Amino acid sequence: METTVNGIILRVQSERMGDTSRIEILGKTMFDWVALSLGNNDVSSVSYRDGDEIPSLVRTLINREKTETVILFSDTPLITKQTVFDAVGELRASGKNVIKLTRGYVFDTEYLLRADKIYTQETHYFEVDDFVTAFSYKQVALISDILKNRILEFHMERGVHFEDMASAFVGCDVKIGKGVIIGPNNVIKGNTYIKDNARILSNNVIDTCIIEENAVINSSQLYKSYIGSGSTVGPFSVIGEGCIIGPSCRITGCVGMEKRVVEEGSVISGYMTAYSFQSFKRRVFNIVDT
C-alpha cells in the first residue's frame, strides 16, 4: 500500500467490555491487530461511541497531503492488509468519494474534510471473516479462534507440522523453522524462535526462548532462555529466565533452574537428591551461575 493513506482507528467503547482497543488476543491488542492492516502508514486514533458523527470526530487527525483516508474500528481485529489495499484500489478506480466497508470506510481525503455526515448507503463486501465484530466476549472468543488458525496455517504453509491444531496456541510474534514438529497441548508465545527440525512434544509452555535445531522439548516450561542444538529438555522441567543450555545436553526429570549456564554435553537429572545435586553440579554437570 502506498504511503499516501491516512490511517485512523476508532477506539470503540462498549458497554459490556469497555475500550475494545485494549483487549488482547494472542499477544496483541485488538487495536494492534487492526493497525497491522494499515501497513507502514502512520495511524491515529480517537474514542468512538455508536452515533458519533465520524467526519467531525476525525477531522483534526487528517493530513491533507494524503489523498485517501482509511477509517477502521478497533472491534474488527481480523481485517487484513489485502482487504484495505483492495478497498483503496476500488476508491481510486471508481472515482467515488467514499467506499463503505462492512465496518469501516475509505474516503477521498478532500471530501472527508468537507463532509458533515456520511451519506452513502451502498456497502462494498470484501472478505467476510475480516469484519467479524467483537461486540461481546463470545465474539472475542470466535475472533481468537480465527486468528489462531490463521497463525497456524501460516506456519504449516512454511513446513511446520502441528499434530493437533485444536490444542496448539502460537503467539503472533513466534518464528518457527522448517521441519519442526509440534505435538498436542502446547502454548508458544512471546518472541520465541524455534529453529529447523526441532521437536516440541506434548504439554509445554515456551515463552520468549530460542530453541536451536534438532532440540527436543517434552512436557516442560521454558522462559526467556536458550536451548542449544540437539539438546533435550524434560519431561517435567522448568527452565527459568536467563538460562543457557549448551548443545547436546540432556535436562530431565523434574529439574528446575534459572540464570544458569549448562555446558555442552552435560546431563542433569532432577531425580538426584538436593544434597548430591549441590555437591556435584559444578564438577559433574558443568553448571555455572550467571
pLDDT of residue 219: 96
pLDDT of residue 277: 44
pLDDT of residue 163: 97
pLDDT of residue 16: 87
What SS3 string covers the chain? CCCCEEEEEEEEEECCCEEHHHCEECCEEHHHHHHHCCCCCCEEEEEECCCCCHHHHHHHHCCCCCCEEEEEECCCCCCCHHHHHHHHHHHHHHCCCEEEECCEEEEEHHHHHHCCCCCCCCECCCCHHHHCCCCCHHHHHHHHHHHHHHHHHHHHCCCCEECCHHHEEECCCCEECCCCEECCCEEEECCCEECCCCEECCCEEEECCEECCCCEECCCEEECCEECCCCEECCCCEECCCCEECCCCEEECCCEECCEEECCCCEEECCCCHHHHHHHHHHHHCEEEC
pLDDT of residue 283: 43
Each residue's pLDDT expressed in tens, for the chain with a length of 290 residues: 455 799 999 999 988 899 999 999 988 999 999 999 999 888 999 999 988 999 999 999 999 999 999 999 999 999 999 999 999 999 999 999 999 999 999 999 999 999 988 877 688 888 788 999 999 999 999 999 999 999 999 999 999 999 999 999 999 999 999 999 999 999 999 999 999 999 999 999 999 999 999 999 999 999 999 999 999 999 999 999 999 999 999 999 889 999 999 999 999 987 543 334 444 444 444 555 54
- Determine the length of the chain: 290
pLDDT of residue 126: 81
